[in-house]
Amino acid sequence: MKIDILIKNGIIIEFDKNPAISSIAITDGKILEIGKELEQKYDAKQIIDATNKIVMPGFINTHSHVAMSYFKGLADDLPLQEWLSKHIWPVENKFLSAEFVEDAALHGCAEMIKNGITTFSDMYFFGDQTAMSAEKIGIRAVLGEGVLDLPVANYQNADEIFAYIRKMHDKYEKSELIDFAVAPHAIYTCGKENLIKAKDLALELGILLHIHLSETKQEVQNCIKKTGLRPVEYLDSFGFFEGDVVVAHAIWIDENEQNILSKNNTSIAINTNSNLKLASGFDSFKSYLDHGVNLSIGTDGVASNNNLSIIEEMSFTSKMQKALNNDPTIFPAKEMVQIATIGGAKALKKCDQIGSIEVGKRADIILIDINNIEAQPMYDPYSHLVYSLTSEQIKDVIINGKIVMKDRQLVNIEEKELIEKAKYYQKKIAEFNHVR
Ligand SMILES: [Zn+2]
Ligand 1 center to 392 CA (angstroms): 25
Query: According to the model, what pLDDT value does residue 127 have?
Result: 98
d(CA 269, CA 207): 17
Regions of the chain with pLDDT less than 70 = 435-436
User: CB–CB of 9/21 below 8 Å?
Assistant: yes
Q: Of 243, 245, 270, 365, give the one whose Cα is nearest residue 324.
A: 270
List all residues 6 or more positions away from 41 whose beta carbon is below 8 Å from its beta carbon: 1, 25, 33
Strand-pair category, 140-147 with 267-270: unpaired
Ligand 1 center to 208 CA (angstroms): 16
Q: What residues have their beta carbon closer than 5 A to ion ligand 1?
A: 300
d(CA 424, CA 373): 37
Query: Is residue 118 exposed (0-12), middle (13-18) or buried (19+ Cβ within 10 Å)?
Result: buried
Ligand 1 center to 4 CA (angstroms): 37
Query: According to the model, what pLDDT value does residue 106 have?
Result: 98
Ligand 1 center to 32 CA (angstroms): 36
Strand-pair category, 140-147 with 178-184: parallel
Query: According to the model, what pLDDT value does residue 16 have?
Result: 85
* Segment 331-357, tens digit of pLDDT: 999 999 999 999 999 999 999 999 999
Query: According to the model, what pLDDT value does residue 304 have?
Result: 86
**End-to-end distance of the chain based on CA atoms, in angstroms?**
63
Query: According to the model, what pLDDT value does residue 153 have?
Result: 83
Ligand 1 center to 370 CA (angstroms): 33
Q: Is 300 helix (H, G, I), strand (E, B) or coil?
A: coil
d(CA 429, CA 421): 12
Query: According to the model, what pLDDT value does residue 118 have?
Result: 98
Query: According to the model, what pLDDT value does residue 82 have?
Result: 87
Q: Of 260, 223, 274, 218, give the one whose Cα is nearest residue 61.
A: 274
Ligand 1 center to 212 CA (angstroms): 6
Ligand 1 center to 215 CA (angstroms): 9
Ligand 1 center to 269 CA (angstroms): 10
CA dihedral of 349, 216, 112, 328, whole degrees rounded to 10: -80
pTM value surpassing 0.75: yes
Query: According to the model, what pLDDT value does residue 28 have?
Result: 98
383 Rama class: left (phi>0) / alpha (psi -120 to 50) / beta? alpha
Ligand 1 center to 330 CA (angstroms): 26
Query: According to the model, what pLDDT value does residue 436 have?
Result: 57
User: CB–CB of 190/148 below 8 Å?
Assistant: yes
Ligand 1 center to 301 CA (angstroms): 6
Ligand 1 center to 233 CA (angstroms): 21
User: CB–CB of 339/60 below 8 Å?
Assistant: no
Ligand 1 center to 300 CA (angstroms): 5
Ligand 1 center to 229 CA (angstroms): 23
Ligand 1 center to 74 CA (angstroms): 16
d(CA 139, CA 397): 10
d(CA 144, CA 391): 26
Q: Which domains does the chain have, with CATH numbers?
A: 2-57+360-409 (2.30.40.10), 59-347 (3.20.20.140)
Ligand 1 center to 213 CA (angstroms): 10
Ligand 1 center to 186 CA (angstroms): 10
**CA dist list (Å): 299 to 64, 116, 313, 370:** 6, 13, 7, 24
d(CA 205, CA 193): 19
Amino acid 270 reads I
* Segment 238-257, tens digit of pLDDT: 999 999 999 999 999 999 99
Ligand 1 center to 84 CA (angstroms): 11
Q: How many CB atoms lie within 10 A of CB 77?
A: 8
* Segment 112-141, tens digit of pLDDT: 999 999 999 999 999 999 999 999 999 999
